[in-house]
Structure 1
Amino acid sequence: MSLDHESADALNERLTSDVGGTEIPVPISYDIIRLFSEGLYQSPHKAVEELVANSFDAGAELVSVVVPSPTSDETASGPLWVVDDGCGMDDDGFRQLWRVADSPKAGGEEQNGRRPIGQFGIGKLAAYVLAWRLTHISKSASGEFRYASMNFRAVTGSLNDPNAEPVRVRLHEISEAEAKALLSEIEASDPIMWERLFGEGASPTWTAAALQDFRELFKKLRPGRLGWVLRTGLPLVSNFTIHLNGTELEPSKADGDVLHEVVIGTESDRAANELKLSKVLDGVEIPGIDGVIRGSAKVFRDSLTSGKSSEQGRSHGYFVRVRGRVINLDDQLFGLDAMNHSAWARFAMEIEVDGLRDHLLSSREGVRDSDPIGVLRDYMHRCFNACRVVYDRESKRTLDEIEIDSILDKNPSPFLVDALAGAIRSDVHESTGGLYYLQTPELPADAAEAWLEETDGRLRDQAFSDFEIVSDEPQGQLCTYDAQTGLLSLNKDHPVGARLVTHATNELPAKLVAASEIMTYALLRNSGLQGYIVHDFFHDRDQILRRLAGEETMDVASVIRHLQVANEDDVAMERAVGRGFEIMSLDYEPAGGKGRPDGILRARLGRGLDGSRDYTVVYDAKTSGRDAIPASKVDVQALVSFADDEKAEYSLVVGHAFEGQDDPEAALNKRIRSSVESGNRVTALLTEDLITLVKLHYRFGLTFSELRSLFEDAHTIPETRDHVRALQESLESRGELPLRELLDALEREQEDQHSRPQINAARRNSDLLVEHTPEQLQAALKAVADLLGARWIDVDDQGYVRMEQSAAEISQELRRRLADALEIELQSMISST
């Protein structure tokens, strides 16, 4: 509720005059300086930029920034200097300098033909986040030299003391010789600036700011990034030059072949027409934003996000300038939603909106939301879309010209090169060594960029150096691309690869599939998707391709059969163990190969309702033609290393029988116990106990926490055997889950067309089901779904159920499958109640 003007005036009349009563002091703590400045400037580069912006507002033609080099103990070797030849300060100027939140620039008076950037009077607080001491040395128009030094540590003792005396800064008048002594570092660091200060043609006025006694944030300052911030964020115009450590900064600009350009306010500016904005001679006008909006939007043929410069800052996105200064350096979208990544990486819009000065937040890094700002953002988004349409059309034309039988030729299509180079760059920067199909080297940061630039040049000459069909393993990836050599290869042992090689008369189909997979991967990586999402996508896609190629899946009967008889078949054993745990709802990833475990198992929190956190298990499956596997064949330390490499909590070895397995002092058990005592979690499990776990899962539904207790509490063979037996006794004493009751309850819920059947809801409506936990019911029903398949019943991670058959039909099929596969009778579980 709000007061209108009339009611507000009436209230004022009822208030007594501001006399009498009891006086309440309203202290302002010095702590506000720390809180406010740290909130404004969270980047050391933006803090330095703020100091340079003060030089711009002072009418300077030259500003020199000198960054000290770090010493061996990460401290700075000297002050950080910001020196300019703008208007100096006399006594009143120094006093005005330390009036926080009071700025003479708010009125907008010009200096050296420039309208000021600053307006809030808080820019001097930028120094506070970087250093404890700030010193100003200045030459005024009268030729006098002065300095004042502020030690912010003097404030810390009275941060929260409302009665503290004001902190006073002493102003000193000094001679030119004394000024030279104070500024002596500048003579060597920037001779040109030194001449402006003390040379024959010295500037009549100047100011230098020195920061010392640096705070923690200063350690994050990087000269390369600072250079990008200064040359991009500030207006480097004909009468304003910035030196960084003695080197002149060139204005930042996006280079390359421009596909399309939209100049604001011209005939090419359809966005203005769509929004019915007023076009003037050199731009457009938006009601609520003063002045003319000028600039242009461009889309380039090549990406602006690659190359060494991208590590320092961006060349793409929106650059919104207010009086020449970019106000959104760290917000490339200017508050808009994420764009089409491929086109966005090639898009740059420079837009001058001086009228935003009245909409700026105090940090000058953002604007207050309002209807005019919404129109401005809509206009900018439409400019991007106009450029994107042209880029999409050009991409389609380029793609149509690509012929698969020429992918190994020299001078490949830029469409191929840009995507492949972008994917390689992403993988290298994430230090993945290649996320899926790509094989990239793991390089130190100082060597990565040189290698990437060399690789980029090679790709533009020839993306694929050669193609070959190789023999890997059936569980290996379908294809690979070696980013170092450019070799594209296809695995003929993969089910899809085997079909391609067997049924094709030449290598062209294999080359087509391999190139398609690599380029699909590259395009997804360039679309902005995170690496792990792309990896998971191709992992799932590989499983589908295997099924389509005729690779048989292991049902529960096959798993148990393989576990029982595969003592001499390494591959069958590895898959049977993984599939056995997959049946119990863990995610199974085949691994294998040198330096890797046979498989990786992941229990994801979303799969269960028991509140347990995710965990990962690496395993090796051991086989032996002998009756028992010798202890020498089990490398416990290797298992621990596998767990470290895969960031797994647990490691597991599975086999039919191990030498001395029942003797706690046998070699294997002693090694495992020693490793556990060292803080590792290693477990040895017999295949017969794994089979028991699979059967228990179908009878009772094992939860993630029950499986976790095995890896957490049992390690040697005697311990795991006892653990499995104890678990079996506990579950059997609890009684089998009433699956038929659960299926009937879900079937009743399915009759409601306005909701989906859900295990929790079904449980609440049954006195019999509430005796069991939701996670037990979900685990059991997932086991049923896994056994029967999705054409019978499906259960998702949130416990929602889709039944494709009736409860009676599912129960009947379940009885038949369990009897055939597990040789167990679960009559009480699935009989009608």
Structure 2
Amino acid sequence: MKSLFADQLSSLKAFGEPLTVSLSNELVKLLSDQLYQSPLKAVEELVVNAYDADAKVCRVFVPAPSDTENDFIVIFDDGVGMDYEGLVNLWQIGRSNKRDENIQKMLKRKQIGKFGIGKLASRTIAYKLTHITKTGNRILSVTVDFRDFKDNPSATTQPVITSVREIVDKDFFNTNVRLSKMLDACGIKPEEIGGTKYKTWTLAILEDLTEKARKIRQETLHWILSTAMPLQSDFVLFLNGTKVLSSKEVYEKWVEFNISELPAERLKALQESTGEKWSNEGNYLKSASFPSGVSGSVFVTKPSLSGGKSEDLIRSYGFFVRVRGRLINDNDPLFGLKPLFFGLYYRFHADIYADDLDEDLKASRETIEDTTIKDNFRHLLREIFNHTNHLYVKAQAAEDEKRDKKEGERNQVSPRLVEYQVADVLVENTKSFIGSEADESWFYLSLSSNDKLDDLIKTLYTPKREKYTYQYINNGPTARIVKFDPASSTFWINKDHEFAAEFINEGVSRLLQEVVTAEALLEVYLRENQVSISAIGKILEQRDELLRSLIRDHSYSFETIARRLRDAATDKYELEISLVVAARSLGFTATHIAGAGNPDGLALFTEYPGGEKKITLEAKSSIDTPSLVAIDFASLQEHVINEKADGCLLVAPNYPGDSQEHYAAQRRANNLKISCWTVEQLALFVESAEKRQFNANNILDIALTAFTPDEVTAQIKSLFEQPIWDKRSLYRAILNALRHLGGRLMDSPRTIDLVAGEVSRDKEFLGINKESIKEAASELAGASQGGMTFRDPNIIMHVSVDELERRLINLTKGTSEPRRLSSFSKHE
């Protein structure tokens, strides 16, 4: 085995007292094996340490799996080094001195490390970790062997003692062969590190590498480090000699310009707001407050610059104001301006150089005083931001207006309204799975796997759109109206939601789809515009209740009316109203009356020449079967007499079964001519009205001739057994037949016989007769708005089958291709 550099350090002079590291092996393994399982994360942590030390340059060497020559990992940085106390603090596990007040004053950047445990990630890739560091005129080193931390059955921690060594001989970096090899691999010359080029620096050397370290792939590590790199010009990272650029540097840009290019109208606005004349001079904007000039550049990316691992180091969006090379607003992206245009905010990056602000810097050198020059500077930043937004909106509009795409490919629904917005909120929120409900899950958005979130964001930011689909599921009446899964480009519509149930079969399902799309994206827009999670939850809850309430207030669909009837079985007043609405849906002129001595409602139907028929409507709600006393047949007959009605239709959840009370109920109903229906029977009748062409006459036929529950049940059963075809299905079958006949027998007219032959192939219509098909064809022609004529036996088409389907959608309650092809959604 090769001699390790860590072992060679033992020959150097000890400095100060030995370090005591109190750490159990169990904790080392816990942190390294569970908190930092990835060898890539271990390297990333050491790079973060370099950033925290205010390094301008960080050089990393990691051997490739095929590299058998180099058995070490090295990280060099030119940041603030450590003295003896710094090395002591380095191995105080569970705390970090990086954020102590005195340390913060020395450093320029926001510090990331907080608990001092990141270095334990090194245990994932190596057993020995050596730090060599320079500060002042002294170079110190310390080595920790992670195998020295032993398991202890007594649960007491045995401290590990390690010595701090001083490197006095500057030629040591040239004469030590292994160290020279490490420096060379890292891209550092021995004379540079031992000389005066770097005033302070730190070298982290990892030896006795683990199997995980030997399997690190260069491409993967480079990508990991690139995602961790912010758009920061004063921190340069090299991996095996190759510069690692922030992954955000390759983002496609909407806008890019130099601030000296601000147009004349912006400079005029600046003059009005600051009282000073502004001019473009070379690459600078100058005024009385800024005689040296303000320079800089701006760009706007298509993907958001917010979020990601690089946010741990420093933000990549907003203004970056530098005074004599020093960043003065690292925690204030807008330099005190109010955040406007959030769609732009997280894509906006501006590097601004204003050395004339130097005189206004506070002693802390972190913020500037409230002065005229500061106010004027903010006016300048506001004009830069507003001009950028103008260019951003213009660029988006230009992309939306591209005319070089075919129909169905050009985006009428811009990605900035859908995909980019969703991607932005996922990037901007570190807890990207947190949403607006009380339990902090998303209200409408459905995210299945955190592991694939990065891939999803990348996909959403790509120009090519995966067309959206709408699927229908039964999630229960209290569940949300929609769940939007951006990963599969699917909107899952809850068929049981009151609003969805009202429109799902009414030939306007496309409108329903558009409503749920807007509703799902409203949550995204609110998040994008920084509305609080609790406020979003409240808003969406109120909107959901409003949608439900509107449907309860005015129902149209047979399915909704039937469902409301079933739901009202135990509610006295709601059952009365639902009964009247059900009668109205079947063709009666129905009125809700109620009140003592009155029926619950009246239903009138006039047939010519048969005249007017009137029945009273009575509702008896009950959790269980109502008792005979509760029904009070005599009072119901009195209502019939008082209203001069022809009969009475009584609805109850159920009636007494095989008992003395049952026979008494049967007898009274028959004697007093009270037609006894269950809630379920009437609901089923309403639900089937459109499909089976039921109407008021069918109700009257039963209500005026069948009175006992058994008689009513028998007549309803007989009616449903009659071979009456579902008209909507028959209409659609005829249209399908016309479609299948397209291109066949071109020299023959489309006749009812040809269509009947096609329709009868369908299992649903095996026993159908030609007269039923002729009747349906005639109805289709009458409703086709000139698209089709039926002159028995010929069916004459005046439009395509697709257009005929569109014109008949209110009759067939089906779906049809839109007249303009969509680039947003699939037609299914």
Shared fold per TM-score greater than 0.5: no
TM-score with structure 1 setting the length: 0.42
Which of 1 and 2 has higher RCO (CA within 8 Å, sep 6+)? Answer: 2
Asked which structure has the greater CA Rg, the reply is 2
TM-score with structure 2 setting the length: 0.42
